[in-house]
Structure 1
Amino acid sequence: MLSSPPHAAHLSLVCLLLLVGFEASLSVSAKPTSLKEVTDGNWEKILTGEWMIEFYAPWCPACQQLQPVWKEFADWGEDMGVNVAKVDVTEQPGLSGRFIITSLPTIYHCKDGVFRKYHGARTKDDFLSFVDEQKWTAIEPVSSWLGPSSILMNSMSALFKLSMFIRRCHNYMTEQLGIPVWGSYVIFGLVTLLAGLALGLLLVFIADFVFPSRRFSSPDYYQKKQVMEQARFIQRQDEDQEADGEEDDDDDDDDEEEHDGEKNDVWRKRRGSPEGRPEPKEQGYADEALRKRMVGSREEEQDT
């Protein structure tokens, strides 16, 4: 009976081991990861259920140290009924503005749309006890007007997205197109100016549409305007005539006063002072001397 050569048996054994290892690698790769990723497009799913969310950046050293612990915590999350997720703020600027991320890493706990910021130790056991013992109930939740679904945070998210878009455009123009930095700034300044003018024109059109002018809302506007102008003109003429009449009256009063003044002067010459005051002393002395002369002449006639 012939037996197979030894090298053939070794070759079959190696093939068998390779096949087993390949199947094991396929099973491991097919296993879904328990760590979820939240993006600007699917972030609303965290509003239902219980979530632990980490905001990180790949370049952050503290975030890099936390990643293995966070993955282990995510593996335990399915058994505890909590969803463990992560957010890359460099790829999701809208979520960075929506949650106002000012430090990295930042961890939030969410229960049915109510958010609380985690401030405890960053170990797997601390994360598990925080969820299992419901320590999050002792933390004050984020106010509704600062919540990620509020109007204010939606505006912040749009602002962060716009800033990231501008930054990418700047990098593309300076690195890919070779435009100098000052040229990129000039382009953004012109675009901002034109956008402001267009927005102002749009607001004017909206205001005219919502609050139309009277000349468009009333067909007989021009007739009413003409009638009002005629009424104002007539009223102005009446006022001018009244003013002329008052001036004439003032002139007549002035004439009468002048005439009365002349009469008073004549009366003073004839009768003296109207107040009955005596004439000046010089005139009195002349009358008295004349009287003495007349008396003296009479006495001389009588003596003769």
Structure 2
Amino acid sequence: MASRVRSDTRMWESTPRLLCLCLCLALVVQLTAAGRASSLKEITDGNWEDILAGEWMIKFFAPWCPACQQIQPAWSEFADWGEDMGVNIAKVDVTEQPGLSGRFIITSLPTIYHCKDGVFRKYQGARTKDDFLSFVHDQKWRAIEPVSSWFGPSSFLMNSMSALFKLSMFIRRCHNYMTDQLGIPVWGSYIIFGLATLFSGLALGLILVFIADFVCPSRRFSSSDYYQKKQSMEQGRLIQQQDEDHEADGEEDDDEDEEEEEDEEDEDRPPRRRESPAGRTQGFSDEAVRKRIVAQRQDEEEDT
């Protein structure tokens, strides 16, 4: 009986120790799980520039993609080895980060990129944990041609693509809001976006014209002597026009003088003889005509 009591006493004394041990094990498991979860980093539009330093393996995925769901366990196991290998393992949800989708030109899912000090290479190998580890440990990425600087995520072209993808996602959200929340028909939403595009294009064109005139004004109008030359040219034109008017008036006066002189000469000249249809002369007096007729008759009579 005494031995049984002693054993029960020992069991009750060891129970707190067992509870403490269980609590410690649970805490260690939770901390390990938290460490594993934090080893897989998430890249967004706000912190994407962090991948330009160091070595990274980045996976672009979408929650609805079956291939992305299939590769998820292997990628999580690969992320557990990232800290030991000195590689940052990250993921990007393209449905939540459309800007990064445009910046890296994601055309298929899942897409995996390797980045080393800002130089990007696209991973094309098998998608298992061992293949990922071999790709990084054996530096197989050196055999892959890097992405051109023109198409790098930090280039001007890719920045423009990122902005375009963000704009498209914003337009899509506005369209869904107008059709679902406000009850506007689909064709009405299209008309609204068409008019907004038209007026925004006109406003942008005017702004660009004003900026161009302000930044690069025309040399013709910016020179200080332009207006003086313009005034002198106008004065020269006026003077030339006045001279032409005076010359025209002088020619008219000369023509009138010539006509008057011709009229005076015509008055001084004797009248010319003109024959009528009947053969009679004109420009002489009637008496002279009668005398000539009488003289012709007398000559005829003498001849007879």
TM-score (norm 2): 0.69
Change (3 A) 1:116 1:234: same
Q: Does 1:124 align with 2:129?
A: yes
1:188 pairs, out of 177, 184, 193, with 193
Contact 1:56 1:88 in 2 (8 A): yes
What does 1:107-186 align with in structure 2 at a 5 Å threshold?
Answer: 107-186=112-191
Shift of 1:40: 0.7
Q: CA deviation at 1:220?
A: 6.8
**Matched residue, 2:230:** 225
**What does the per-residue CA deviation read over 1:126-159, in whole Å, with 9 as the maximum and x for residues that have no partner?**
0000000000000011111111111111111111
Q: 1:129 to 1:12 in 2, by over 3 A?
A: closer
- Structure 2: gaps of 5 or more residues: 252-304
Instruction: In structure 2, give the amino acid aligned to 1:135.
Output: K
Question: 2:46 aligns to what SS in structure 1?
Answer: coil
Q: Write the deviation string for residues 186-238 of structure 1: whole angstroms up to 9, x where unpaired.
A: 11111111111111121121122123367974567545323212324555788
Match of 1:31 among 25, 31, 35: 35
Paired position in structure 1 for 2:76: 71
Structure 1 pair 214–126 and aligned structure 2 pair: CA distance change class (3 A) = closer
Number of residue pairs aligned between Structure 1 and Structure 2: 241
Q: Structure 1: which 5+ residue stretches go unaligned?
A: 249-304
Stretch moving more, 30-39 or 138-147: 30-39
**SS in structure 1 of the partner of residue 81 of structure 2:** helix
CA distance in 2, matches of 1:82, 1:211: 50
SS at match of 2:177: helix
- The structure-2 alpha-carbon separation of the partners of 1:86 and 1:120, relative to structure 1 and needing over 3 Å to count, comes to same
The one-letter code of the counterpart of 2:47 is: N
Distance 1:224 1:125, change over 3 A: same
AA aligned to 1:39 is: T
Aligned counterpart, 2:277:
none
1:43 matched to 2:84: no
User: Is 1:95–2:103 an aligned residue pair?
Assistant: no
The CA deviation at 1:182 is 0.8
CA contact (8 A) 1:48 1:112 kept: yes
Identity of aligned residues (%): 77
Equivalent residue in structure 2 for 1:85, among 63, 83, 90: 90
Structure 1 contact 54–106 (Cα < 8 Å) conserved:
yes
Superposed CA deviations along residues 40-99 of structure 1, whole A, max 9, x for unmatched, are 110111011110000111111000101111000000111111111000111111111111
TM-score (norm 1): 0.69
Q: What is the CA–CA distance in structure 2 between the aligned matches of 1:23 and 1:77, rounded to whole Å?
A: 23
- Tell me what 2:216 maps to: 211
> Which 10-residue stretch deviates more, 223-232 or 98-107?
223-232
Cα separation, partners in 2 of 1:83 and 1:171, compared to 1, 3 Å = same
